[in-house]
């Protein structure tokens, strides 16, 4: 921080800083991972997977020194591409910006609607009511922080989501997003002409305020 020193009559006076000292804050997400990259990974590899990416937030607010640990490893390039789209406000302490090391970002990849079996005649669930945009907007406004979720759930035989696991970063979104997804409705999956529970559904969400 720059200070101006004025000398008069043999005394030094420190004038106030020209700009107010910024408040301390940890590194804060501005833009979450690109959902399009996650969808591409799921559509290309067609198998469940997960990654944990350890990284440092640089002074420019971009992730660097990224180290992905993925199962299977074929998801690693997609996790890195998704992380490259993330933007942060850098950490500030005592008026100075710092790099933040040791941050971790989880990714969960799942096929959108895997069949419980490959028997002929099985039908996957069909979405008839999506997540309400107003519920997503309310969640973003309440948390007031960009984030992302990979929501997994089962479509019940009644067409309602159950066993909803939001998997959000930051986790403050979990309850709000879980409630929003629970309002979705589906034409239930079928096996041998009978409605059944259909596990393994997944849906990525990018939670960013409109600019």
What is d(CA 32, CA 36) in angstroms, rounded to the nearest whole number?
12
Tell me the pLDDT of the chain (211 aa) as tens digits. 333 333 333 333 344 444 566 778 888 888 888 878 887 887 777 777 888 899 999 999 999 999 999 888 888 888 899 889 888 889 888 888 999 988 888 887 765 555 454 455 678 888 899 899 899 999 999 999 888 888 999 999 999 999 999 999 999 999 999 999 999 999 998 888 889 999 888 888 888 876 5
CATH class in words for 115-211: alpha beta
Q: Which of 6, 32, 163 is nearest to 105 (CA)?
A: 32
Residue indicated by tokens 């009644």: 158
On the question of a common fold for 22-111 and 115-211, the answer reads yes
DSSP 61: S
Classify the C-alpha dihedral 45-51-55-61 as positive or negative.
positive
pLDDT computed for residue 170 by the predictor: 92
Q: Which residues contact 98 (CB under 8 A, 6 or more apart)?
A: 59, 90, 91, 92
CA 76, 32, 80 angle in degrees (round to 5)?
15
Give the pLDDT of residue 163. 94
Query: In CATH, what class is 22-111?
Result: alpha beta
Domain ranges of the chain: 22-111, 115-211
* Nearest of 30, 50, 43, 65 to residue 145 by alpha carbon: 30
């Amino acid at each position: 921080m720059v200070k101006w020193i004025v000398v008069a009559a043999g005394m030094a006076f420190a004038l106030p800083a020209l700009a107010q000292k910024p408040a301390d804050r940890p590194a804060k997400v501005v833009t979450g991972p690109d959902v399009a990259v996650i969808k591409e990974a799921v559509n290309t590899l067609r198998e469940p997977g997960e990654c944990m990416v350890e990284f440092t937030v640089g002074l420019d607010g971009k992730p660097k020194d990224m180290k992905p640990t993925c199962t299977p490893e074929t998801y690693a390039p997609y996790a890195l591409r998704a992380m490259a789209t993330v933007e942060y406000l850098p950490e500030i302490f005592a008026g100075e910006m710092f790099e933040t090391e040791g941050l971790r970002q989880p990714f969960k990849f799942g096929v959108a609607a895997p069949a419980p079996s490959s028997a002929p005649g099985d039908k996957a669930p069909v979405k008839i009511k999506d997540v309400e945009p107003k519920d997503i907007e309310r969640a973003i406004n309440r948390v007031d922080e960009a984030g992302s979720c990979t929501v997994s759930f089962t479509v019940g035989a009644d067409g309602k989501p159950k066993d909803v696991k939001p998997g959000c970063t930051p986790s403050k979104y979990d309850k709000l997003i879980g409630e929003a997804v629970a309002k979705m409705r589906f034409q239930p999956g079928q096996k041998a002409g009978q409605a059944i529970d259909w596990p393994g559904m997944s849906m990525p969400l990018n939670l960013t305020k409109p600019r």
